[in-house]
Amino acid sequence: MSMDFSIESDIKKFTKDFTGLRKKEIPFATAMALNKTGKGISTELGKRTNKYFEGGSVRFTQTGFGIPYKGYAKKDHLVTVVAPKPKQAKYLNYQIAGGRRAPSGVPEIQAVHENTTAPILTKQGNITRGRYKSIKGNKDKYFLGVPKGRDDRSLGIWERYNSNQNIRMVAKYIKSGQYRPLFPFYKIGEQVFFGRGRGAFFKTFQKEMIKILAKAGYR
């Protein structure tokens, strides 16, 4: 999942009156502006996850977008790629594009029951590694699997409670999950890139061109 924008026609229109050094340095200024705007888009995408994800988002998700190593623009290749980082992409891609997700290794935890004596999931609907490890280690109170006499639909985390050692499911395992598109990845990118007053890209392009000309002695 990546993002790139075509700005060729806009650049030609914006720089149609450029001559001499100003015209020669257009590709370099464009590349610099694309990369800086790409970083700005990455930051804004991270901030917006807190709005669109149920329960907000954790810092790991908020820092989950960036420019891949080979995704930076150069003066002879005017494309900057913005994408979820590899680790975050494992779940962010489903938030962006939807689709069916099959967990690797053990089935994923779908939901926690309200009658548990201790919360299992975070407010974002996830289980932390520390919490999962603690549950696995507390064999007197919890067990993971299918109770005797029940079918695979009962696969989950079960809690033993009261003096009679009755059991109740506190979280259910599922073999796959169906996701609908939730996070407007491209829309946010376009808002930053092409926003008001020509957007972040053209403002950055102007600044980069001014720097280049000033370094060359132009005023």
pLDDT (tens digit per residue) in 7-32: 666 788 778 888 887 888 899 999 99
Q: What is the largest CA-CA distance in the chain?
A: 88
For residues 2 and 189, which has the higher predicted lDDT (pLDDT)? 189
Task: Please enumerate in sequence order all residues whose Cβ is within 8 A of that of 189, keeping only pairs 6 or more positions apart, or say none.
Answer: 3, 5, 41, 45, 82
- Answer yes or no: are the C-beta atoms of 181 and 96 closer than 8 Å: yes
Distances (CA, A) of 102 to 34, 106, 141, 159: 36, 10, 29, 26
Determine how β-strand 108-112 pairs with β-strand 65-66: unpaired
Summarize pLDDT for 196-212 with one digit per residue, the tens.
Answer: 766 789 899 999 988 98
- Answer yes or no: are the C-beta atoms of 191 and 28 closer than 8 Å: no
- Answer yes or no: are the C-beta atoms of 110 and 172 closer than 8 Å: yes
Distance, CA of 159 to CA of 127 (rounded, Å): 16
Distance, CA of 70 to CA of 44 (rounded, Å): 21
Distance, CA of 47 to CA of 103 (rounded, Å): 27
| Residue 76 pLDDT > 70 | yes
DSSP codes, 99-167: EEE--SSSPEEEEE-TT-SS--S-TTS---HHHHHHHHH-TTTEEEE--TT--GGG-EEEEEETTTTEE
Distance, CA of 204 to CA of 210 (rounded, Å): 10
Summarize pLDDT for 103-113 with one digit per residue, the tens.
Answer: 555 555 555 55
pLDDT, residue 199, reads 77
Token pair listed for 163? 């003096």
50-68 mean pLDDT: 90
pTM for this predicted structure: 0.72
pLDDT, residue 17, reads 82
113-118 mean pLDDT: 54
